Structure formats: structure tokens, C-alpha cells
């Protein structure tokens, strides 16, 4: 028995386009649909809530507030780092994006905000923090998650992984 509606324990395949401030910032167009395990917090909460109960072939536009998306912009998330801590060959300038390794070894996103003398001011906010997100989504497939996917808490994709 295959479910016909998006619900917990389903792997949802969806096509999507994300617009922020009227510009497309991410889209599955031209690639494979995004597959995710519903109910496992694999995607942002505001979008997942709106997908509940959708059927295959159904499309909708979802507007997600910053709080339900990537969070509000955090004034505390700016840090100053001495210029000497960066490899000399990195052309540091405002707007440069980089991935740093956090204290637990987790990847952390950072963007150079400004240069203050010998220090570099990094903005650790997610680039979409504080933004309202406009998603156009279409459910293109639903299947029951495998036991392994349920254990791992995410979809493994249909490419033999």
C-alpha cells in the first residue's frame, strides 16, 4: 500500500524553486528532484509543515517567514578574526564566502563582512537568515521509507546508495 499523501514515514520527491527578494536562489530545475524523509526535520520547518497532506502531482506556493526558515539574523553571530589566521593566498574581501570547521568539527558557513585593520569581521549567519522564503513546490513522487532510512533519519536517494 503506497501512500498518496505526504505524511510521516514517507520519502517525498519534490521539484522546487526558492525565491528570495524576487530572485531565484535555489532550484531543482534541470536536476533531480529533492528527496527527503518527511517528519525527520530534513528540510526547514515552515516548508515541511506546508507540504503535509499534498498529493503526487500537486503544486503550491509556500511563503516561509524567517523564523520558520533559516532564523532571524543574529547580531551576535559576527566575530573578529586576526588576518594572520587565514591562509595568505585567500583574497579576503567583503562578500567572500567560506566554510569553516566549528568546535565539534561541524562545517560552519561564514561570510566576510568587513576588514577592520588587522582583523577580519566574519558574519556567521546563514546567508538566508532574516529572509522571507518563497517556495514553488511540486510533489513528483512518494514512497514508503525503508527501515534503514527511518533509522538514519534521512532519505538515501534512488541511486543505489
Going from N- to C-terminal start, the domains of the chain cover 10-70+131-151, 75-123
pLDDT band at 160 (very low <50, low <70, confident <90, very high): very low
pTM score: 0.78
CATH fold match for the domains 10-70+131-151 and 75-123: no
Mean pLDDT over residues 65-82, rounded? 93
Asked if residue 87 has pLDDT above 90, the reply is: no
What was the pLDDT predicted at 106?
83
Q: Is 7 exposed, middle or buried (0-12, 13-18, 19+ CB in 10 A)?
A: middle
From the options 3.40.718.10, 2.40.10.330, 3.40.228.10, 3.30.530.20, give the CATH code of 75-123.
2.40.10.330
- Predicted confidence (pLDDT) per residue in 9-68, tens digit: 999 999 999 999 999 999 999 999 999 999 998 899 999 999 999 999 999 999 999 999
Other C-beta atoms lying within 10 Å of the C-beta of residue 120: 24
Residues 6+ apart with CB under 8 A from 56: 4, 139, 140, 141, 142
What was the pLDDT predicted at 161?
39
The torsion angle over the Cα atoms of residues 128, 134, 139 and 140, rounded to 10 degrees, is -80
Please provide the CATH number assigned to the domain covering 10-70+131-151.
Answer: 3.10.50.40
In 3D space, the residue among 41, 32, 39 whose CA is nearest the CA of residue 14 turns out to be 32
Other C-beta atoms lying within 10 Å of the C-beta of residue 146: 13
What was the pLDDT predicted at 56?
96
What was the pLDDT predicted at 44?
92
What was the pLDDT predicted at 158?
57
Asked if residue 88 has pLDDT above 90, the reply is: no
Amino acid at each position: 500500500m503506497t501512500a498518496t499523501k505526504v505524511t510521516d514515514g514517507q520519502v517525498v520527491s519534490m521539484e522546487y524553486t526558492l525565491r528570495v527578494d524576487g530572485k531565484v536562489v535555489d532550484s531543482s530545475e534541470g536536476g533531480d528532484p529533492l528527496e527527503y524523509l518527511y517528519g525527520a526535520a530534513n528540510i526547514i520547518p515552515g516548508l515541511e509543515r506546508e507540504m503535509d497532506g499534498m498529493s503526487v502531482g500537486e503544486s503550491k506556493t509556500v511563503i516561509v517567514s524567517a523564523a520558520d526558515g533559516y532564523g532571524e539574523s543574529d547580531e551576535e553571530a559576527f566575530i573578529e578574526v586576526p588576518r594572520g589566521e587565514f591562509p595568505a593566498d585567500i583574497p579576503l574581501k567583503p562578500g567572500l564566502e567560506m566554510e569553516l570547521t566549528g568546535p565539534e568539527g561541524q562545517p560552519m558557513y561564514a561570510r566576510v563582512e568587513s576588514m577592520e585593520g588587522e582583523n577580519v569581521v566574519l558574519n556567521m549567519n546563514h546567508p538566508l537568515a532574516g529572509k522571507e522564503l518563497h517556495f514553488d513546490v511540486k510533489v513528483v513522487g512518494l514512497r514508503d521509507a525503508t527501515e534503514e532510512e527511518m533509522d538514519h533519519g534521512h532519505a538515501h536517494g534512488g541511486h543505489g546508495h
